């Protein structure tokens, strides 16, 4: 089930919100837990058992990981923590990366005339996200930052919460632990605050991202011998915009849904394409993932406290993992290494600091955006040769123009939406639209709410009713 399917929008979401609104306040977590498992099962089917199995193991491990007043059993707790993390990571490796690993082994053995069976496993939906939630849960308990949950219903509400289960944002346990026992007293206010945010995300996804999708697909599906400078740049810029409005739209919908249910989920985007450095870009893009890797990988490795060499090593590790976290393909690994290398260069030469002069900031912002656009080509391309060929055409201008297939995909409507999306990207870095829409009572925010709720929401509903929508891009991760 998708946030933009009629089944979700017109039946599931209203039913869950009505139940939360009219039932006793203490029933909230139970309604969220049951609804979330139903939501997940409609898409995952039998793979729901994988999620339930991981939940059972992590729930029962939680109380045993809590430190006591003198921490007399630290070695036992540490062994248990490593075992539970190993189980979580192992499940992710098996389901998501076994196919990739066996493909590489089969390719090597083929060179020597041998054979090797290739695993063909279906990746359970959202496994990358709920694995990170489980790891956050056990690590935060082990560190003594939060107490373990003794109530399985509250635990299920955290792990399986349908707004963030499939594609985030990644909610660290410390960020939501204090909200799980909350007894809501302003349910109508929460719904009134969260619904415009949900509507904003729906508009970003259906009106902008889905409109750009056919044009982007036509560009990236162009055969290598027909690729041109214009097609390569049109596809790269189009995908840069499509991915942002698709993923940030999902995040807005998730945050809005969470708010309507009485939860404050963390922000995931803060106008990333306005960044003037790659370092700043990663403080603004998929922020919940960046914070997760910072807290559970980068800092435990030593962060930047043990000298430049170790800092660069830690950055390399984090971004190799970031690349592979998105998918078991060489293109994702190269994309992660590419961004890790850019961060190291910035740190080594002092370019990670925002320039003081306005002219320098404009120039650096343009450079950063171009570097990000090149990176997205690796992220979107079907394989490494295709990505390298497309980038080759981006850096070697020609005057061939567009093929008939691409030209037919560039309709007047899509071109207008592309230009509008570019205009939005080039707006100042602040304010960030989502939080402004949800919490501000200023006149601009009120006008934006009215526009989203009247014109935007109606248009998005028409697009959904006609079936002109596509799955969220981050569902594949």
Residues 155 and 245 placed together within one structural domain of the fold: no
Is the residue at 311 inside a domain?
no
Residues 255 and 364 placed together within one structural domain of the fold: yes
Give the catalytic positions in this structure: 326
Q: Give the pLDDT confidence score for residue 337 in this predicted structure.
A: 95
How sure is the predictor about 219, in pLDDT bands with cuts at 50, 70 and 90? very high
Portion of the chain with pLDDT greater than 70, in percent:
97
DSSP string, 194-231: HHHHHHHHHHIIIIIIHHHHHHHHHHHTS-GGG--HHH
Angle at 321 between CA 374 and CA 429, to 5 degrees: 50
Domain that holds residue 384: 190-276+354-475
Three-state SS string over 396-453 comes to CCCCCCCCHHHHHHCCHHHHHHHHHHHHHHCCCCCCCHHHHHHHCCCHHHHHHHHHHH
CA distance linking residue 323 with residue 301, whole number of Å:
18
Is the residue at 457 inside a domain?
yes
Angle at 361 between CA 355 and CA 365, to 5 degrees: 125
Q: Give the pLDDT confidence score for residue 435 in this predicted structure.
A: 83
Residues 155 and 173 placed together within one structural domain of the fold: yes
Cβ(137)–Cβ(171) below 8 Å: no
- Pick the last residue of a domain from 156, 184, 212: 184
Q: Give the pLDDT confidence score for residue 477 in this predicted structure.
A: 64
* End-to-end Cα spacing for the chain: 16
- How many domains, the chain? 2
Portion of the chain with pLDDT greater than 90, in percent:
58
Residues 82 and 165 placed together within one structural domain of the fold: yes
With a cut of 70, say whether residue 71 has pLDDT above it: no
Token pair in block for residue 265:
């989920």
CA distance linking residue 181 with residue 28, whole number of Å:
10
Residues 101 and 229 placed together within one structural domain of the fold: no
Q: Give the pLDDT confidence score for residue 110 in this predicted structure.
A: 72
With a cut of 70, say whether residue 436 has pLDDT above it: yes
Taking CA atoms, 447 is separated from 197, 302, 389, 439, 440, in Å, by: 14, 47, 45, 13, 11
Residues 91 and 239 placed together within one structural domain of the fold: no
- Pick the last residue of a domain from 184, 217, 236: 184
Is the residue at 107 inside a domain?
yes
Residues 93 and 64 placed together within one structural domain of the fold: yes
Mean pLDDT lowest for which of 102-111, 152-161, 311-320? 102-111
Is the residue at 322 inside a domain?
no
The pLDDT mean for the chain works out to: 89
Residues 72 and 198 placed together within one structural domain of the fold: no
Is the residue at 284 inside a domain?
no
Residues 251 and 400 placed together within one structural domain of the fold: yes
Residue 11 carries which DSSP code? I
With a cut of 90, say whether residue 50 has pLDDT above it: yes
Residues 139 and 267 placed together within one structural domain of the fold: no
Longest dimension (CA), the chain: 73
Q: Once rounded to an integer, what is the mean pLDDT over residues 222-248?
A: 94
- In the three-class reduction of DSSP (H, G, I as helix; E, B as strand; rest coil), residue 252 is classed as helix
Taking CA atoms, 107 is separated from 94, 104, 331, 381, 473, in Å, by: 19, 5, 17, 21, 29
What pTM, to 2 d.p., does this model score? 0.92
Token pair in block for residue 208:
């902008």
Residues 80 and 179 placed together within one structural domain of the fold: yes
Q: Give the pLDDT confidence score for residue 340 in this predicted structure.
A: 95
Is the residue at 339 inside a domain?
no
Cβ(160)–Cβ(33) below 8 Å: yes
Q: Give the pLDDT confidence score for residue 260 in this predicted structure.
A: 92
Is the residue at 329 inside a domain?
no
- Pick the last residue of a domain from 131, 160, 184: 184
Q: Could you report the per-residue pLDDT of 166-176, keeping only the tens digit for each?
A: 887 999 999 99
Q: Give the pLDDT confidence score for residue 444 in this predicted structure.
A: 78
CA distance linking residue 155 with residue 149, whole number of Å:
6
Is the residue at 316 inside a domain?
no
CA distance linking residue 282 with residue 294, whole number of Å:
11
Residues 89 and 205 placed together within one structural domain of the fold: no
């Amino acid at each position: 089930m998708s946030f933009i399917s009629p089944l979700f929008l017109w039946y599931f979401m209203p039913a869950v919100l009505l139940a939360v609104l009219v039932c006793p306040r203490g029933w909230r977590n139970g309604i969220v837990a049951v609804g979330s498992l139903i939501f997940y099962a409609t898409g995952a089917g039998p793979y729901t058992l994988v999620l339930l199995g991981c939940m059972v193991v992590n729930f029962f491990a939680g109380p045993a990981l809590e430190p006591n007043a003198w921490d007399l059993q630290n070695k036992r707790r540490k062994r248990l923590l490593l075992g539970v993390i190993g189980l979580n990571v192992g499940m992710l490796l098996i389901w998501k990366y076994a196919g990739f690993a066996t493909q590489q082994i089969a390719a090597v053995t083929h060179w020597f005339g041998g054979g090797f069976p290739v695993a063909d496993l279906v990746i359970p939906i959202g496994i990358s996200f709920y694995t990170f939630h489980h790891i956050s849960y056990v690590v935060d308990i082990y560190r003594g930052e939060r107490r373990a949950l003794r109530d399985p219903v509250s635990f299920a509400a955290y792990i399986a919460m349908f707004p963030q289960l499939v594609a985030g944002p990644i909610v660290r346990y410390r960020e939501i632990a204090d909200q799980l026992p909350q007894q809501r007293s302003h349910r109508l206010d929460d719904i009134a605050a969260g619904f415009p945010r949900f509507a904003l995300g729906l508009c970003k996804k259906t009106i902008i991202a889905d409109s750009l999708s056919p044009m982007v697909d036509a560009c990236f599906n162009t055969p290598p011998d027909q690729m041109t400078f214009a097609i390569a740049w049109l596809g790269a810029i189009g995908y840069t915009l499509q991915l942002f409005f698709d993923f940030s739209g999902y995040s807005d919908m998730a945050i809005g849904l969470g708010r309507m249910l009485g939860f404050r989920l963390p922000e995931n985007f803060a106008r990333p394409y306005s960044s003037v450095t790659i370092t700043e870009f990663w403080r603004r893009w998929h922020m919940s993932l960046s914070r997760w890797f910072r807290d559970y990988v980068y800092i435990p490795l030593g962060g930047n406290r043990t000298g430049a060499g170790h800092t660069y090593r830690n950055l390399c590790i984090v971004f190799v993992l970031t690349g592979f976290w998105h998918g078991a393909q060489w293109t994702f690994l190269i994309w992660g290494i590419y961004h890790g290398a850019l961060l190291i260069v910035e740190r080594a030469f002092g370019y990670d600091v925002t320039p003081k002069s306005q002219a320098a900031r404009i120039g650096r912002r343009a450079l950063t955006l171009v570097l990000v656009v090149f990176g997205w080509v690796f992220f979107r391309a079907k394989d490494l040769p295709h990505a390298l060929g497309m980038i080759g055409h981006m850096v070697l201008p020609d005057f061939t123009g567009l093929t008939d297939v691409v030209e037919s995909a560039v309709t007047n409507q899509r071109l207008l939406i592309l230009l509008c999306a570019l205009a939005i990207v080039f707006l100042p870095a602040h304010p960030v639209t989502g939080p402004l829409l949800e919490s501000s009572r200023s006149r601009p925010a009120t006008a934006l709410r009215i526009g989203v709720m009247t014109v935007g929401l109606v248009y998005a509903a028409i697009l959904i009713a006609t079936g002109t929508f596509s799955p969220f891009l981050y569902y594949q991760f």
